A and B are shown apart, each in its own frame.
Chain A
Amino acid sequence: MRKTLQKELTRAKINLSKGFPLPVRIFHWGFAFTLTGIILTGFILHKPLPFLALTYSKIFIYHVIFGWLATAFFIFRLVDMLIRKDKTLLPSLGELKNLPKLLAYYLFLRPYKPPSGQYNIGQKLIFISWLILFPFLVLLSLGSYFAGQHLDWVVKFIGGLQYLRMTKYLGAVYFVATILLHIYLSLTEDLASLQSMVTGYEQKEKAPKNRDFL
């Protein structure tokens, strides 16, 4: 955080607590940007828009560049997870029992969410699905990128290029659907973590003793 801002904040006696660490923030925004790039260029490559006379060879190059960058961010986060022994993303068995309660909350059958740590079980499941799906899609993409030279077993495993591109398309659709959900919930359910995803700190006021909100 900028030092001047820090000074201003201390002068105003605003208490800050630590939020997301720097590697997570770098990963989050880098990955968000490159993934958006991949998905947008991917959809253009999938179904060219007639009114956008885009140079296809360039779109393809951007698609590949975004792909490599996103993979780099992903690996960066993976290494970071291993170094910091970060287990915040891994769901535990106990939490899984909270899943029905969480679903009940989203269906308005319960007034409040079951208690959770930094991420609730729904978030964890979505993040884990991304964690598994993304490397798989990268592998498929590399298979088609090097088709005929390397990684032929990937194409054979998936059953041909047609299956490969269908899988990638459906994977992209899944990403878009879950990302939309992610954006909506982060904007409405937890503003503090949005603050912290940008700044690294979150400012939370003490709930008034007599009038406690959840």
Chain B
Amino acid sequence: MSFLEKKTVFPVTRIHNPMLLEAYLENGVIQDAFISDTLYRGFEQILENRPAFDMPYYTQRICGICSSAHAITAAYAVEQAMGIQVPPNGHLLRNLIVGSDFLQNHLRYFYLLSMPDSFRGPDIPPFLPHLEGDLRLTPEEDKKMTEHYFRAMEVARYAHAAFGVFGGKAPHGHGIIPGGCTMDIDGDKINRFRGYLVTILEFIENVMFPDLELLIERYPEYIHLGKGNGNFLSVGGFPDPSGSTLFQHGVVLQEEYYPFDEKHITEEATTAWYKDQEPAHPWQLKTEPDREQPMGYTWIKAPRYQGHPVEVGPLARAVIDKQKIIGYGTLGRHYSRVQEAKKIAEACFQWLERLVPGAETLNTKVEQESGIGVGFMEAMRGALGHWVKVEKGRVKHYQIITPSTWNFSSRDEQGGRSVGEEAILGLTIKCPELKEAGRVLRSFDPCFSCSVHLIEGGNLRTFKIQV
């Protein structure tokens, strides 16, 4: 047993909500790592007994940056449970709302969250204190990047303004409800949405792509640094009224392609602060917090696909859609994300053209008052699933598995690490505050407010690590 140096970084910033990273280093190389979320809000408990029709509005409050993804997934689940038929224009409008939210997220993620790892900002807070070390851009490029940083903030607003055109307000929009979209279509709104979209697409092509290339040029080793475990999952997303989807669903387990089947998803809580739970399908799951759990170190449960931890996100989508991939590491994920932003912006143009002004967008006719429904949607950061059981119009059971739960799950019974923990193993640390690890972790675009059920103990764990 060798001597391991323990380093704890809290908070790992520029992700949504708190992430606590506990790394065990040997000669500056990460040998083991625990990632935990330090917040529990218990949304699944809160949602019970509420009216099923409120679910898209309420579940949005789980996450501020991917609000529309939760809304649309909850809407799918409730529609399935209550037998609601959505008119074609409703589907298109909802795709547009979620699509614009995707653009907003990808822009903000790239510039606000991940970019400050690579450039030196001006000497004002919040860029102070600078996170020094491994900044490879020249001063001129730093200056240009600062400009792009602020420009991206402005352009991301346009994405949310586009969201607002059909969604009422952003974030936490009102447009998506079970049965379609509440907004009516007319030329003015299409025109407005189009205007925003043009600005965004222009920014993606002229600013974001060159910046990504610059990063790839300066940080070439990061293309492969921070690889996951080779398992990918996508549940498919953006259904077209004609039946096809923009993102395909599927699973890749060690380069083997399989179709995605909801039955293989299990979730367990062996090392999370919940009452001990055997791996079970979300229908059997309960959310009972228990901070006395001896093995616990996080609030994130452990979802597994056929027992394997899988990676979700733009890279997984690119793998399953067989898009161009430059690598499976940090910059590989960035590359997929930026490509995807362009793909979605272009898809938005198509959906926009197919809208029929004045056509029906909403149908709230309910066929049955009770039933069960599952909603799946690719959210900004990966696969999102909602499981709902409705009785007499009220929710009796609600389970959510979010993308960050997949990527940063707690360890399972066999001690299997999540993709996030796996990715930073073997990373050589030279900079203060484990900057390299932060860089890799951010490439997953983690959103810990999403990991609805998460905690951390009063004192840090002190269990021994075998090497």
- Decide if A and B touch, CB cutoff 8 A: no
Chain A residues in contact with chain B, CB under 8 A?
none
Chain B positions near chain A (C-beta within 8 angstroms): none
